[in-house]
């Protein structure tokens, strides 16, 4: 049978962990896999009881009414208690939770006891505003300590948060607030990015008239930019905190209490509110954070260089590390912005070594970042790394997109000193935590492979008919429920069933292609649906298309993700103009800017081509595959289903005329 997805990769290099690493590792043999294989429910129950403190023990491990799962039924717990109080009660209140560093170079340190005090106070602030268990609020903040404090305060009283990435635009804020019926937005005046304050409150002000349910906005003063404050609506964080009571008991919450919503792109223009609940999620991320990173909380300094606005930050900056009592680094800005004291001359002469500088100064032991960042560091060159002592590093992680073997080897050689195990972690907003990853003391890695499902997770590759593939390419599915799994899409059970459970009966379909090699190693092949992966961020073609046609000059639009050396995929738009508009470079730019304004800078197309027509099937479906061929400069694939064969030639000519930047 023909393979569902063809694969040409043939990577022969192997990297076993060193005997020293294995000897010191939390787990250095297959016992966790064996235990989970024997009885996955019993395995997760043991993890839940060992890693989490329950105010009431659970009566039942799993209730599985496909596709709806409940984990640890009857159990009661509180996330902020697990992240904070219990460490303080155990005498570890002086341990540092976060070494925070602002982009200008200012720093703040929070011990567990200090973080607890702030969280309890802010939970009282929320209560004072009338928020109650089950309510939803939105958070739109830069990477400052008040962001995890706000999230944890929500969990303390059972309020669910919906964090909106700070790079998103006003429309994204109002859409998400309306979908979740959020009543409060927490934001900041601005955050530092690339050396300058980047405004946030102004975006909230612009979104506010379209937010039907929000009545209060809490504002952290990060950059002293003095935004206008609307009396009665806008409240300063520091003023509220000055008056807040210090004591706020952590409420025992049901294991299935909604913890948060996080909106993610799918194949339609409307983002989905992914629902995560309490007990199962916390168990899953505590387990994976501990064993995938070989976390030794007494001595490690762990750093996940993601943004909390994405799921990676939720699970592996905030909830996983704090549950495990880790000491973490949290950094506000971009990797190419040095501390203000190291900035001289114009920006082009600034060093691009901020990450390596941070690792050296804090003695970071685990670094977790994205392949797109690694490829950027490669481009900047080894000289940015040279001169920094990175010998504290023990484990390196990657997440967000397939890592090409070349970038893997660069990371291994130049950052890992040729010795650190690399954990390439595959997972999604929907899965809550890691699903496929090496265990650093157990797995012999291959550059570019995610290796195997973690203990307790069952991943299977299937072909077009849903038959399990033992070797070769196909579609990645998950065939058993797992504790961190999404519990649904907020307000839309049908869409949940349809999106994830309808393609292959009884299986969760992740939207990714994968290949199993002859040794049973998994190789992730990227998205197989209409979702692009740009710099590790999922963006739907439909969402960009709808932003493009929103421009008055655009009649019709098609978007594809074309392979890109740095960002993995780049957004390429093809548009047909409304009659009367002339194609011009200025118009192409304006259209690209329009998308950035509608959706945020991450969504700005790399290029927009103005074309006379779009390639369609006879039934009117846009043939994105052909557009991708054009965008990537390939020979066209099968055109037999194309309604009008001359269209593609016209597009090619149009594309050749356009210039991108």
For position 426 contacting ligand WTA by CB under 6 A, the verdict is: yes
Whose tokens are 């168990």? That residue is 283
- Select the span of 85-93, 381-389, 400-408, 415-423 touching ligand WTA (CB under 6 A): 400-408
Nearer to ligand WTA, 507 or 538 (CB): 538
Angle at 559 between CA 554 and CA 564, to 5 degrees: 130
The single residue among 273, 400, 441, 561 that binds ligand WTA, judged by CB under 6 A, is 400
- Assess contact for 164 and 184: CB atoms under 8 A: no
For position 112 contacting ligand WTA by CB under 6 A, the verdict is: no
For position 424 contacting ligand WTA by CB under 6 A, the verdict is: yes
The single residue among 33, 54, 81, 310 that binds ligand WTA, judged by CB under 6 A, is 310
The residues pairing with 272 across neighbouring beta strands, listed in sequence order, are 264
Within 10 angstroms of residue 42's Cβ, the number of other Cβ atoms is 12
Instruction: Number of residues interacting with ligand WTA: please give it, by CB under 6 A.
Output: 23
For position 564 contacting ligand WTA by CB under 6 A, the verdict is: no
* 431-450 binders of ligand WTA (CB under 6 A): 450
The single residue among 87, 290, 538, 606 that binds ligand WTA, judged by CB under 6 A, is 538
- Select the span of 101-109, 134-142, 202-210, 309-317 touching ligand WTA (CB under 6 A): 309-317
For position 375 contacting ligand WTA by CB under 6 A, the verdict is: no
Residues 6+ apart with CB under 8 A from 508: 67, 477, 478, 479, 485, 500, 501
Q: What is the C-alpha to C-alpha distance for residues 433 and 431, in angstroms, rounded to an integer?
A: 6
Q: What is the C-alpha to C-alpha distance for residues 165 and 372, in angstroms, rounded to an integer?
A: 18
For position 535 contacting ligand WTA by CB under 6 A, the verdict is: no
For position 159 contacting ligand WTA by CB under 6 A, the verdict is: no
Nearer to ligand WTA, 82 or 264 (CB): 264
Q: What is the C-alpha to C-alpha distance for residues 351 and 56, in angstroms, rounded to an integer?
A: 52
Nearer to ligand WTA, 80 or 315 (CB): 315
Q: At what angle do helices 146-157 and 112-128 cross, to 10 degrees?
A: 60
Q: From the CB of 203, what's the least distance to ligand WTA, in Å?
A: 21
Q: What is the CA radius of gyration of the chain?
A: 24
For position 284 contacting ligand WTA by CB under 6 A, the verdict is: no
Q: Residues 484-523 vs ligand WTA: string with x where CB under 6 A?
A: --------------------------xxx-----------
Q: What is the C-alpha to C-alpha distance for residues 272 and 315, in angstroms, rounded to an integer?
A: 18
Residue 543 tokens, joined: 């969402």
For position 427 contacting ligand WTA by CB under 6 A, the verdict is: yes
The single residue among 80, 187, 312, 540 that binds ligand WTA, judged by CB under 6 A, is 312
CA separation (Å) from 155 to 272, 278, 352?
21, 9, 37
Q: Residues 253-272 vs ligand WTA: string with x where CB under 6 A?
A: -----------x--------
For position 138 contacting ligand WTA by CB under 6 A, the verdict is: no
Q: What is the C-alpha to C-alpha distance for residues 27 and 23, in angstroms, rounded to an integer?
A: 9
Nearer to ligand WTA, 69 or 292 (CB): 292
Q: What is the C-alpha to C-alpha distance for residues 397 and 387, in angstroms, rounded to an integer?
A: 22
- Assess contact for 204 and 187: CB atoms under 8 A: yes
What is the pairing mode between strands 60-65 and 216-220?
unpaired
Q: Contact positions toward ligand WTA, by CB under 6 A?
A: 264, 310-312, 399-402, 424-429, 450, 510-512, 524, 526-527, 533, 538
């Amino acid at each position: 049978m023909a393979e569902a997805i063809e694969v040409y990769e043939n990577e022969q290099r192997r990297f076993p962990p060193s005997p020293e690493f294995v000897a010191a590792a939390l787990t250095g043999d297959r016992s966790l896999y064996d235990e989970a294989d024997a009885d996955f429910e019993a395995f997760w129950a043991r993890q839940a009881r060992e890693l989490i403190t329950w105010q009431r023990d659970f009566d039942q491990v799993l209730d599985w009414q496909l596709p709806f799962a409940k984990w640890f039924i009857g159990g009661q717990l509180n996330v902020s208690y697990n992240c904070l109080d219990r460490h303080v009660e155990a005498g570890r209140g002086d341990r540092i939770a976060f070494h925070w560093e602002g982009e200008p170079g200012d720093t703040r340190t929070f011990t567990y006891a200090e973080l607890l005090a702030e969280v309890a106070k802010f939970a009282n602030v929320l209560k004072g505003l009338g928020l109650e268990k089950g309510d939803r609020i939105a958070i739109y903040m830069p990477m400052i300590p008040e962001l995890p404090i706000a999230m944890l305060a929500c969990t303390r009283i059972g309020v669910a948060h919906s964090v909106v990435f700070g790079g998103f635009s006003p429309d994204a804020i109002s859409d998400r607030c309306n979908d979740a019926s959020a009543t409060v937005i927490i934001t900041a005046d601005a955050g530092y990015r690339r050396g300058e304050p980047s405004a946030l409150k102004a975006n909230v002000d612009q979104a506010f008239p379209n937010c039907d349910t929000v009545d209060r906005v809490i504002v952290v003063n990060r950059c002293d930019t003095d935004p206008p404050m609307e009396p009665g609506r806008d409240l300063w964080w520091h003023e509220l905190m000055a008056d807040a009571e210090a004591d706020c008991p952590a409420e025992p919450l049901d294991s299935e209490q909604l913890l948060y919503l996080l909106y993610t792109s799918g194949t339609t223009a409307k983002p989905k509110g992914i629902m995560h609940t309490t007990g199962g999620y916390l168990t899953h991320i505590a387990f994976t954070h501990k064993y995938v990173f070989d976390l030794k909380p007494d001595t490690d300094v762990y750093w996940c260089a993601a943004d909390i606005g994405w799921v990676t930050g939720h699970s592996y900056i905030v909830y996983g590390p704090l549950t495990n009592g880790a000491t973490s680094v949290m950094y506000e800005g971009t990797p190419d912005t040095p501390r203000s004291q190291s900035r001289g001359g114009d920006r082009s002469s600034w060093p691009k070594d901020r990450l390596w500088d941070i690792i050296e100064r804090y003695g970071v032991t685990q670094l977790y970042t994205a392949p797109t960042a690694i490829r950027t560091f490669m481009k900047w060159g080894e000289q940015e790394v040279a001169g920094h002592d990175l010998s504290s590093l023990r484990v390196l992680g990657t997440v967000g997109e397939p890592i090409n073997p070349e970038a893997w080897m660069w990371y291994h050689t130049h950052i890992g000193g040729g010795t650190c195990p690399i954990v390439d972690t595959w997972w999604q907003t929907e899965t809550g935590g890691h699903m496929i990853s090496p265990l650093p003391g157990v797995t012999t890695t291959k550059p570019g492979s995610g290796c195997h499902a973690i203990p307790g997770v069952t991943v299977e590759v299937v072909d077009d008919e849903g038959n399990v593939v033992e070797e070769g390419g196909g579609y990645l599915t998950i065939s058993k429920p797992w504790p961190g799994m999404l519990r649904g899409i907020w307000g839309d059970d049908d869409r949940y069933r349809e999106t994830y459970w309808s393609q292959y009966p009884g299986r969760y379909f992740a939207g990714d292609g994968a290949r199993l090699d002859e040794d049973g190693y998994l190789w992730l092949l990227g998205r197989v649906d209409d979702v692009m992966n740009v710099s590790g961020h999922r963006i739907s073609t439909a969402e960009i298309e709808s932003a493009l046609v929103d421009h008055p000059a655009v009649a019709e639009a098609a978007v594809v993700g074309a392979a890109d050396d740095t960002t993995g995929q780049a957004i390429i738009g093809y548009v047909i103009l409304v009659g009367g508009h002339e194609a011009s470079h200025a118009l192409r730019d304006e259209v690209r800017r329009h998308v950035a304004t509608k959706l945020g800078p991450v969504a700005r197309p790399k290029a927009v081509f103005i074309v006379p027509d779009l390639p369609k099937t006879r039934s009117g479906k846009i043939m994105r595959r052909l557009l991708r061929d054009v965008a990537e400069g390939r020979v066209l694939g099968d055109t037999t289903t194309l309604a009008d064969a001359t269209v593609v030639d016209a597009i090619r000519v149009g594309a050749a005329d356009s210039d991108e930047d």
